[in-house]
């Protein structure tokens, strides 16, 4: 029985539309293409029960597709039409050369934890969503220092004054978390990185907590433009007294690994770690 495939493209990448047609032709006899569409419509194709989603775009396209799938995750094959391609491990030529394994080999599917977060005010939920990479609480305009109270599993840890806080998955540890000096974690471990942004302190170092922990952040003092940004793509406003709660999501993000690359290839080759 042929694997069932949905192909999604980023509409902002002109080359992706042309390559989509070429890919459908290349699939002949090797897979059943049950649908083609746009990244933002990923959720609408889950009922077709595909074995794989192929995403033509970049890392941002993969993040958007995975969030859209919610609790009905399917393995995603990322084909890079962006810049870095940290998650989008395949070039178009790589995919054609490894098509059978990418579409059928369960050993190529890596499981990566996702996190869910919500912002509430006086016990009333204002926003809720999923993140593959991170929730970032930003100071925002007028860019005065903000003050955040941090607790893990109901235990108060500290009050942090600075420009914000990054709560990242291991998958997202090489994104915004890395930029603010947070720890790099292997993408398949179960943990949450808590990394202050420009903390006005000599002691607020990044922290790694167990993946089953619940992290709560209360905005004691924030700016008019303070916000929580999800995977760098979705923004929620947050005000004084609001509470951000983050915990592990019940489903994993499923990413197909390029069999031509060792597991540390994105870190050492694309981010130049240790070079």
pLDDT of residue 85: 85
The one-character DSSP state at 46 is G
Residue 261 has pLDDT above 80, yes or no: yes
Give the Cα-Cα-Cα angle 247, 248, 251 (nearest 5 degrees).
Answer: 145
pLDDT band of residue 29 (cuts 50, 70, 90) is confident
Q: What is the C-alpha to C-alpha distance for residues 240 and 219, in angstroms, rounded to an integer?
A: 5
Taking residue 30's Cβ as centre, other Cβ atoms within 10 Å add up to 13
Per-residue pLDDT of 109-130, as tens digits, reads 999 999 999 999 999 999 999 9
Residues 78-100 have a mean pLDDT of 91
Residue 28 has pLDDT above 90, yes or no: no
Query: Any idea which residue has 């991170």 for tokens?
Result: 134
pLDDT band of residue 193 (cuts 50, 70, 90) is very high
In the chain the domains, ranked by start, together with CATH numbers, are: 4-105+259-270 (3.40.50.10330), 114-250 (2.60.200.30)
**Catalytic-residue membership of 59:** yes
Residue 72 has pLDDT above 90, yes or no: yes
Residues 22-49 have a mean pLDDT of 94
Q: What is the C-alpha to C-alpha distance for residues 73 and 67, in angstroms, rounded to an integer?
A: 9
Give yes or no for a contact between 157 and 205, defined as CB atoms under 8 angstroms apart.
Answer: no
15, 41, 47, 59: which one is catalytic? Answer: 59
pLDDT of residue 45: 96
Tokens of 76: 């995603």
Query: Any idea which residue has 């398949």 for tokens?
Result: 188
Give yes or no for a contact between 4 and 32, defined as CB atoms under 8 angstroms apart.
Answer: yes
pLDDT of residue 275: 82
pLDDT of residue 240: 98
The one-character DSSP state at 121 is E
């Amino acid at each position: 029985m042929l694997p069932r495939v949905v192909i999604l493209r980023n509409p902002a990448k002109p080359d992706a539309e042309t390559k989509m047609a070429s890919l459908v032709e290349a699939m002949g006899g090797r897979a059943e293409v049950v649908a083609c569409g746009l990244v933002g419509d990923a959720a609408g194709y889950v009922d077709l029960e595909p074995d794989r989603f192929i995403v033509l775009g970049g890392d941002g396209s993969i993040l958007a597709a995975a969030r859209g799938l919610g609790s009905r995750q399917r393995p995603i094959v990322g084909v890079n039409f962006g810049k870095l391609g940290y998650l989008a491990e395949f070039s178009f030529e790589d995919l054609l050369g490894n098509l059978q394994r990418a579409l059928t080999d369960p050993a190529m599917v890596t499981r990566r934890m996702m996190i869910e977060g919500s912002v509430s005010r006086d016990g009333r939920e204002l926003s809720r969503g999923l993140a593959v990479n991170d929730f970032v609480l930003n100071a925002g305009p007028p860019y005065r220092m903000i003050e955040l109270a941090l607790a893990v599993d109901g235990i108060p840890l500290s009050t942090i004054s600075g420009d914000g806080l990054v709560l990242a998955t291991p998958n997202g540890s090489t994104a915004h978390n890395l930029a603010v000096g947070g720890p790099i974690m292997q993408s398949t471990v179960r943990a949450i990185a808590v990394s202050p942004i420009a903390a006005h302190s000599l002691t607020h170092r990044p922290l790694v907590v167990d993946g089953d922990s619940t992290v709560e952040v209360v905005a004691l003092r924030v700016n008019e433009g303070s916000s929580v940004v999800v995977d760098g793509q979705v923004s929620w406003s947050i005000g004084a007294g609001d509470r951000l709660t983050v915990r592990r999501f019940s489903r994993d993000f499923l990413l197909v690994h390029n069999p031509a690359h060792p597991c540390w290839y994105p870190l050492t080759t694309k981010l130049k770690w240790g070079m």
